Homo-oligomer: A and B are copies of this chain.
C-alpha cells in the first residue's frame, strides 16, 4: 500500500529534491531498521539533540525516558520537536573532493509530542519500544511494575509531517572528470552483530535465545 504524506513548507526537501520521499511505507521501513533516533528540542533558545531508543506503532513514534529527565519534562509540555533517524549505507568516493558523499537513508519528523497518559496505550508503547530493540523480547522479559511505570514517561509523535531522504548508487562526478585516473566508487557499510556476551551473573545453564545468538535486523 502506497500512502503519500503531503510535504509542508517545513518538510519539503529543497536540496537535491530527487532524493526525497514522502511515501509512508518508505518512511516506516527506515524507522523500523534503525535503533536510535536523534530528538531535537529547544530550551531557552538553545537546541538540544539527544540520541534515544524508540518504537513505532502504525503512524506513531514513541520514545520513553525517566519522568524526571529534563528532556522528558520539556517534551511533555507539547513543545515542537524534530525526530531524525539516519541509516548509513556507504562511503561515496568521487573523483572530485567536491562530490564526495555518503549513501544513507534518513527520516525527519516534525511536530509536537504528546504525553501518553492512557495506561493501555502506555503499555503497548513500551512493548513497541522493547520489541524495536529485539523482536518479541517483551514476552521473555520481566514486565514493568507499577512503580517502574510511574517512573517512566512515554511520549507519542504522529508521523504526519515527515519526509525521507535517500542517496544510493555510485558517485556523480562532473562529466570532464570521468577520464581522470582516480579510483572512484562506494565502500558499503553495514551494522553487524557479534556473538552475544552473557551477563556474568546469568542463571547457570541458560542458553542465549535465537534472537541473541544470531541477531539480524
A interface list, Cβ under 8 A from B: 10, 14-15, 35-36, 38-43, 45-51, 53, 65-66, 68-70, 80-84, 86, 88, 90-91, 93-98, 100, 102, 104, 106, 108, 110, 126, 130, 133-134, 137-138, 140-145, 148, 152, 170-171, 177-203, 206-209, 212, 215
Contacts and interface: CB of A to CB of B under 8 A. Distances in A.
A180 B203 contact: yes
B190 A186 contact: no
A48 B178 CA distance: 36
A62 to B, nearest CB: 14
A93 to B, nearest CB: 6
A134 B93 contact: yes
Given A98-B144, A206-B181, A193 B199 contact: no
A134 to B, nearest CB: 6
Given A88-B35, A97-B130, A212-B183, A200 B170 contact: yes
B208 A185 contact: yes
A46 B96 contact: no
Contact of A35 (B51, B94, B102): B102
Given A82-B47, A190-B194, A215-B91, A126 B108 contact: no
A51 B44 CA distance: 23
Contact of A183 (B36, B41, B98, B206): B206
30 contacts: A10-B46, A15-B70, A35-B102, A36-B102, A38-B51, A40-B40, A40-B47, A40-B49, A40-B82, A42-B45, A47-B80, A51-B84, A51-B104, A93-B133, A93-B134, A93-B212, A97-B141, A97-B142, A98-B148, A100-B137, A140-B183, A141-B182, A142-B182, A178-B201, A183-B198, A185-B196, A185-B198, A185-B212, A186-B199, A188-B197
